[in-house]
Structure 1
Amino acid sequence: MKFTKMSLVAALLIGSSAFALDNVKVSGNAELFYATQDNGSDTLFNKDASAADAALNLNVSADLVKNSTVAISAGAGYTVLSTLGLENNLVSAVWGGAHGATANGSSFGAKVDNANWMKEAWIAATAGKTTAKIGRMELDTPMVFTEKWTIEENTFEAAVLINQDIPDTTLVGAYVGNGNGTETFGGGAAAGPAGIAPVVNLNGQFETFGTNGAYAVGAINNSFKPLTVQAWYYQLTQLASAYWLQADLNMNGILAGAQYSSDKLLNGSTKSDTVYALMLGYEMKDVATIKVAYSDVNKGGDLGYAGFNTATNMTTAQSKLYTEAWWNYGRVTKTDTTSYSVCVEGNVASVDLMAQYTNANDKSVANNDMSEFTLTAGKSFGPLDATLAYIYSDLKTPAIATDDETTNMIQAYLTLNF
């Protein structure tokens, strides 16, 4: 599915709690993604309008020490990304950015190289209600997180400390030294060729996060059970600071939420980029969930974006704003942009259905608005998850008032879990 969310707390604690019975756990998945769209003169299912990629993800974790005083665990993850030779045959593009390309001296185009890298390699220790984790890992915080919507997943080299001694409260502190996302916020490694959805650097290469690493601290409180509030502060050393505030209510099927975020460069003479978002919804158990959301980014901020994932390219980065689009990322977080979305999810005959409409009105540049309508249907067949998506996009071109770039896209996702 497009959005697969795991909290930072869960990501930290999985290494110290998931192996009590078997001690060693091996897991992973094999994925095959395909997309085609009518783009310009190309039609659906035309080779030059299509992309495909395959990935194999293998994870292993184990308890090293487990007694009444301390529990120590470790884990590793490895990813292999391959086109299976489909490029220049059934498709002309790939999904991921980790691929390289080798010219083959023929008229058929360059050969896209396979890529492989160590996605995770961490060790964690838990004593009482405090867990420390260090190494290469996934993260999930509001503004620094692993994006899971595409065929590849960016990760981090970091040190994280989490404490839950205060009732109903989780405190988090983290230092992020490196990342392999296709970030431009401070300069990162270039992405590979022809990827329609790249979030990982060429060959999975890790680069310094920002300019000299980043610090994050956060607090999550759930004292009033229907309400979860969280506050986060980030500092990208010698570059920028940011904070994120959020409150979410889930009471008797009523859903409500509020978000506020601000980013600011650290040269002392810049204007902050800020965004707020509101969400209302209703959950009919075992029937459907309906949500509506609105967000607004201020005008004149020096970064030009607010509330984006600082771990990947800000112009295409996924965000955790309630109004985030399903496919066309980087629009709702752009300066001087108001956005709204409507989303309906449900299950019919064991098929997960979702319909979402997103509109982003960019007031900073004429004719740069975005409308997106997405339908998805997903079903599990034992260990195999299958999802089919249809996306209609209307992306206007700046300074060309008569140009509406409308596209229809069909995507298919197959994931075999083991």
Structure 2
Amino acid sequence: MKLVKMSLAAAVLLGASAFAVDNVKVSGDAKLFYGTDNKDQAAGISDSLFDQANSYADTALRLGVTADLAKGISMGATANAISTLGLENNLVANTWAAHQNAVDDTAWMSELWIAGTMGKTTLKVGRMELDTPLAFSESWSVAKNTFDAAVVINQDLPDTTVVGAWVGKSNGADAVTAAPDVAERDLILRDGAKFTTFMKKGAYAAGLVNNSYKPATVQAWYYNIGLVADAYWLQADINCDMVKGVKIGAQYGDIDVKNGGILGAAAEDSSAYAFKLAYQGIEGLNLSAAYSKADDKGSVQIQNVAGSGQSKLYTEAWWNYTYVGSKDAEAFNLTAEYDVKDIAKLGVYYTSVSNDIAAGVAGSTKEMDEVTVTASKSFGPLDATLAYISTDADDQNLDASNNGQRYDSVQAYLTLNF
């Protein structure tokens, strides 16, 4: 791994001297993610924690380079590779990420962009990560989803950032195109990380982020998603002046499907709102409580339309995504994090979701309760996280009567940064 980094760095620096490229930076990481659970398996197959049939794992290598090509012009490139390293032959039966044919090695360029800055305006074009409320790169998995896009950012207005973007392609499992094989634990990427047209026709986005009133950050976003929908996102986060360390937040998301669009005439609009109260007045301590409610209609959930279904709503679960943004979902989230100096950062997360119109059928309920406990620590360049997750969901781990049964998961995350 170190030799690969040094070889690439040497090649880049050699090119830099020949073409007057400055400020070359090489970085990356190597990951090993492992998970196991005790979900019920078919008759005759063990359903115990750490058993091969109930376990999944992947390794990933990411190597990135950024450089200044000329005054005001920069570029970046990132390569990713995912492999099971043969773990599926004895330790696990499933992969973490969506590989081609489940266990084949996969490699791709996740970023390849060029950016130019003039005054307070920057234009970035190419393949890149995005971070907007309804279309973003998800960072929880062994590899991120990315986009082929053009983004312009302007900061001429005081305390204001204006963003405009065109998104043409994505390798995420978007809300319109079929997701990868559900046997994969991670639906963040298409099969083989293949890039295809985003939401069938591409999308435009425009955003404004303002903090003229210093205790508050306010943002507003608009999306024109081709023949799919128009979408809106409003959010305000305020640091309370009266009580030090208290923060208050409010969110509203709305997706209005287009008549005659590719979702069909029966498609319905969707919306959701959320509130959050947090306290960060003690060093290392983070406490928060959040509530969200989605309306009882909607053909596209209030979540990332370009990945696994993770939502930016304050109530999002630690592991079980797609619930809080679904139609008629009412959700609560309690979070407690404390950084114990020189020991570890500890976290406890509780999410409860109730839904009275599951699958669009009145009277059909869909509930999910998740409790997650984590411990994270860095050992120099090595980041390590251990997580325990208790999941009790109506539509998971079904018994003979189609009732969901609670189950446990244990996950380990190792990331070596270089």
TM bin, normalised by shorter chain, reads 0.7 to 0.9
Alignment-derived partner of residue 413 in structure 1: 413
How far residue 402 of structure 1 moved from its aligned partner, in angstroms, is: 7.7
Of 241, 244, 261 in structure 1, the residue corresponding to residue 233 of structure 2 is: 244
Question: What TM-score comes out, normalization by structure 1 length?
Answer: 0.87
Aligned amino acid, residue 126 of structure 2: G
How far residue 260 of structure 1 moved from its aligned partner, in angstroms, is: 0.2
Alignment-derived partner of residue 63 in structure 2: 58
RMSD: 1.8
| 1:349-380 residue CA offsets vs partner (Å, 9 max, x unmatched) | 33111101000001103242000000000000
Of 332, 341, 345 in structure 1, the residue corresponding to residue 333 of structure 2 is: 341
1:258/1:276 contact within 8 Å kept: yes
Distance in 1 (alpha carbons) for counterparts of 2:405 and 2:393: 5
Distance in 1 (alpha carbons) for counterparts of 2:283 and 2:378: 17
Distance in 2 (alpha carbons) for counterparts of 1:237 and 1:26: 37
- More divergent stretch after superposition (42-51 vs 267-276): 267-276
Question: What TM-score comes out, normalization by structure 2 length?
Answer: 0.87
How far residue 88 of structure 1 moved from its aligned partner, in angstroms, is: 2.8
Distance in 2 (alpha carbons) for counterparts of 1:193 and 1:393: 18
How far residue 193 of structure 1 moved from its aligned partner, in angstroms, is: 7.2
* CA pair 279-364 structure 1, distance change in 2 beyond 3 A: same
| 1:212-252 residue CA offsets vs partner (Å, 9 max, x unmatched) | 11000000001111100000000111221100000001242
Distance in 2 (alpha carbons) for counterparts of 1:411 and 1:22: 41
1:53/1:82 contact within 8 Å kept: yes
Aligned amino acid, residue 132 of structure 1: L
Aligned amino acid, residue 380 of structure 1: S
Asked if residue 354 in structure 1 is aligned to residue 355 in structure 2, the reply is no
Aligned amino acid, residue 359 of structure 1: S
Of 268, 272, 275 in structure 2, the residue corresponding to residue 275 of structure 1 is: 272
Asked if residue 43 in structure 1 is aligned to residue 48 in structure 2, the reply is yes
The number of residues matched between the two structures is: 377
1:98/1:192 contact within 8 Å kept: no
Alignment-derived partner of residue 83 in structure 1: 84
Distance in 2 (alpha carbons) for counterparts of 1:233 and 1:177: 16
Of 370, 373, 389 in structure 2, the residue corresponding to residue 372 of structure 1 is: 370
Alignment-derived partner of residue 16 in structure 1: none
Alignment-derived partner of residue 128 in structure 1: 119
Distance in 2 (alpha carbons) for counterparts of 1:80 and 1:402: 39
Distance in 2 (alpha carbons) for counterparts of 1:369 and 1:194: 22
Aligned amino acid, residue 241 of structure 1: D
Alignment-derived partner of residue 96 in structure 2: 95
2:357/2:365 contact within 8 Å kept: no
Distance in 2 (alpha carbons) for counterparts of 1:319 and 1:254: 23
Distance in 2 (alpha carbons) for counterparts of 1:24 and 1:287: 34
2:255/2:300 contact within 8 Å kept: no
2:22/2:69 contact within 8 Å kept: no
Aligned amino acid, residue 59 of structure 1: G
Distance in 2 (alpha carbons) for counterparts of 1:193 and 1:363: 25
Secondary structure of the 1:187 match is coil
Alignment-derived partner of residue 308 in structure 1: 303
1:211/1:236 contact within 8 Å kept: no
Alignment-derived partner of residue 321 in structure 1: 313
Alignment-derived partner of residue 164 in structure 1: 155
2:128/2:147 contact within 8 Å kept: yes
Structure 2: which 5+ residue stretches go unaligned? 1-20, 42-46, 359-363
* CA pair 222-298 structure 1, distance change in 2 beyond 3 A: same
Asked if residue 218 in structure 1 is aligned to residue 207 in structure 2, the reply is yes
Aligned amino acid, residue 346 of structure 2: L
Of 186, 189, 214 in structure 1, the residue corresponding to residue 176 of structure 2 is: 186
| 1:281-322 residue CA offsets vs partner (Å, 9 max, x unmatched) | 111231411100000000123x152x211112xxx5101000
Alignment-derived partner of residue 395 in structure 1: 393
> Matches of residues 221-236 of structure 1 in structure 2 within 5 Å?
221-236=210-225
Aligned amino acid, residue 90 of structure 2: N
Distance in 1 (alpha carbons) for counterparts of 2:97 and 2:37: 17
- More divergent stretch after superposition (267-276 vs 40-49): 267-276
